[in-house]
């Protein structure tokens, strides 16, 4: 391999001759061999958009040569389109508050712009990573701002899938609205409920999660570009500070606003912690739903067996015919991961000192992982599970009719004491509640059938007395 020699404040270093990254990105590559992964493509895109907007702003206020600026913009456009992403070699977990990420983009843009202008890679006399690409900026405003842009875009993809899940659940709620089944509390028989009501409830909790995520996403539109090192704007022209965020909005197509207090915007990462918290709550909702789906489909002959999940793969290497609820299982595992990531994000947001938080890299790494795994998990939950669920109506009806839980509806008519006695006898003897009530002459059959109308017992506000009047 051929090399070129580059130098920085640490000293000289050999850099691969055809590399678009430079000495500082290479040092980071060697220092931070942590995860074996690279920074997220959405973050690379956001970094390039910020560098493009900065070049445009600096050209507008005549602080950057038009020829150099246009080359920078062209190089950024190529990166935004997905080119040169293999030149971003820094690990997502790194020391230095993201300086390595920032210098990686600065070097790649500078080298590609130099190439566009007819120079050779590594010849920074054409376009310099710091003096031109990073002009008016600092790692400390570039990294949190690009991190927010990337997060917004990833959240938008997640919200699309969550909306799709709501639609799928509401479709099932309508399909199953007529299916009467036994409701359970603390894993014990309670009172009848419609299967459609259960699925409608799943849709509603996800609706609330969507509202929470949208609310915290709004916090991310406030970015600290123009703050430079600590929020005081040192080395940034006054007109640059005024116009940089509007130009980033134009480049990204996002409604972005400059922080009112740039010191606050540079110090604090609470917006990211709020996003992680909302994702965690959503993950809890999804895992609880997944738990329910596994229970309702359990058996299929020795468990509840009230619904059927679509069979997706063999469930055992030793037990022929066994099919496991693998999609709800993976959804719960995703939830466990998101909940763990939330703790990492919480600690990273808490760990900043004074004017800067140095722990954004690990925060972004875990936050992006949470958003993407939730997005992908919800998609497979819809396609490979929810859409294919069917109800075992006969099984549901059988469990309701043989349950002692229906005794609750009789309390207003025969009293709590007699109801409790009938329930106990039913459990001890195996006889049905209906048989015991009729045998003791506590109610007439027509009255009993009316009171124990299964659908009526699933509608709030309809009592047995009202049914009898009808």
In 195-284, which ranges are E strands? Answer: 222-223, 257-258
Q: Quick one: which of 96, 181, 102, 183 has its CA closest to 362?
A: 96
Q: Which residue has the tokens 């099984």?
A: 395
Q: CB-based burial of residue 451 (10 Å sphere; 0-12 exposed, 13-18 middle, 19+ buried)? A: buried
Report residue 448 CA to chain centroid gap. Answer: 50
Phi/psi at 97 (5° precision): 60, 20
| Nearest-angstrom CA–CA distance, 266 and 101 | 17
> 80-100 burial, b if ≥16 CB within 10 A, otherwise e?
beeebeebbbbbbbbebbbbb
Q: What is the DSSP letter of 410?
A: G
CA atoms within 13 A on the CB side of 418: 13
Nearest Cα to Cα of residue 408 among 426, 431, 391, 392: 426
Instruction: Give the three-state DSSP class for 112.
Output: helix
333 sits in the region (left: phi over 0; alpha: psi -120 to 50; else beta) called alpha
The whole-angstrom separation of Cα 137 and Cα 404 is: 71
Q: At what angle do helices 433-440 and 416-429 cross, to 10 degrees?
A: 120
**How does DSSP classify residue 385?**
T
Per DSSP, the three-state class of 368 is helix
Residue reference for tokens 């972004």: 364
Q: Tokens in use for 447?
A: 């009255």
Prior bond of 263 cis (ω within 30°) = no
Strands (E), 230-357: 257-258, 307-308
CA–CA dist 464, 470 (Å, integer) = 10
Residue among 249, 316, 332, 337 flagged as catalytic = 316
Got the DSSP string for 345-363? HHHHHHT-BTTB-TTHHHH
Whether 316 sits among the annotated catalytic residues: the reply is yes
What's the gap between Cα 256 and its chain centre?
A: 21
DSSP 34: S
Catalytic residues: 316
């Amino acid at each position: 391999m051929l090399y070129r020699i580059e130098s920085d404040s640490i000293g000289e270093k050999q850099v691969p001759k055809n590399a678009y990254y430079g000495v500082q990105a290479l040092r980071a590559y060697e220092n931070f061999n942590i995860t074996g992964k690279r920074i997220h493509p959405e973050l690379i895109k956001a970094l390039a958009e910020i560098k493009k907007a900065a070049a445009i702003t600096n050209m507008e206020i005549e602080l950057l040569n038009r020829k150099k600026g246009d080359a920078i913009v062209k190089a950024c456009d190529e990166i935004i389109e997905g080119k040169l992403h293999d030149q971003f070699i820094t690990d997502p977990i790194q020391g230095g508050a993201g300086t390595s990420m920032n210098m990686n983009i600065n070097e790649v843009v500078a080298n590609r712009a130099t190439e566009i202008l007819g120079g050779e890679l590594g010849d920074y006399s054409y376009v310099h990573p710091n003096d031109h690409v990073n002009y008016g900026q600092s790692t400390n405003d570039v990294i949190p701002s690009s991190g927010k842009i990337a997060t917004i875009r990833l959240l938008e993809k997640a919200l699309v899938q969550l909306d799709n899940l709501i639609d799928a659940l509401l479709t099932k709620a309508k399909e199953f609205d007529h299916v009467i089944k036994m409701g359970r509390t603390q894993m014990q028989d309670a009172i009848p409920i419609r299967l459609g009501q259960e699925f409608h409830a799943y849709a509603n909790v996800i609706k609330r999660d969507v509202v929470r995520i949208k609310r915290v996403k709004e916090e991310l539109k406030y970015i600290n570009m123009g703050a430079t090192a600590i929020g005081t704007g040192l080395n940034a022209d006054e007109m640059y500070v005024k116009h940089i965020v509007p130009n980033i909005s134009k480049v990204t197509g996002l409604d972005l606003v400059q922080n009112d207090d740039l010191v606050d915007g540079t110090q604090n990462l609470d917006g990211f912690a709020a996003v992680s918290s909302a994702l965690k709550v959503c993950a809890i909702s999804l895992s609880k739903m997944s738990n329910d789906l596994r229970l309702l489909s359990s058996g299929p002959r020795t468990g509840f067996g009230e619904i059927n999940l679509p069979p997706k793969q063999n469930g055992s290497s030793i037990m022929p015919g066994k099919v496991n609820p693998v999609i709800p299982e993976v959804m719960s595992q995703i939830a466990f991961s998101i909940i763990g990531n939330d703790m990492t994000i919480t600690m990273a947001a808490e760990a900043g000192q004074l004017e800067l938080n140095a722990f954004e890299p690990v925060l972004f790494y875990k936050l992006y992982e949470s958003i993407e795994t939730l997005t992908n998990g919800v998609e497979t939950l819809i396609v490979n599970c929810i859409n294919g669920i069917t109800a075992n109506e006969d099984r549901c009806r059988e469990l309701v009719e043989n349950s002692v839980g229906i005794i609750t509806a009789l309390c207003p008519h025969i009293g709590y004491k007699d109801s409790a006695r009938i329930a106990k006898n039913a459990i001890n003897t195996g006889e049905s509640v209906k048989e015991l009530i009729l045998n003791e002459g506590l109610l007439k059959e027509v009255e009993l059938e009316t009171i124990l109308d299964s659908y009526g017992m699933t509608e709030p506000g309809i009592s047995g007395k009202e049914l009898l009047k009808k």
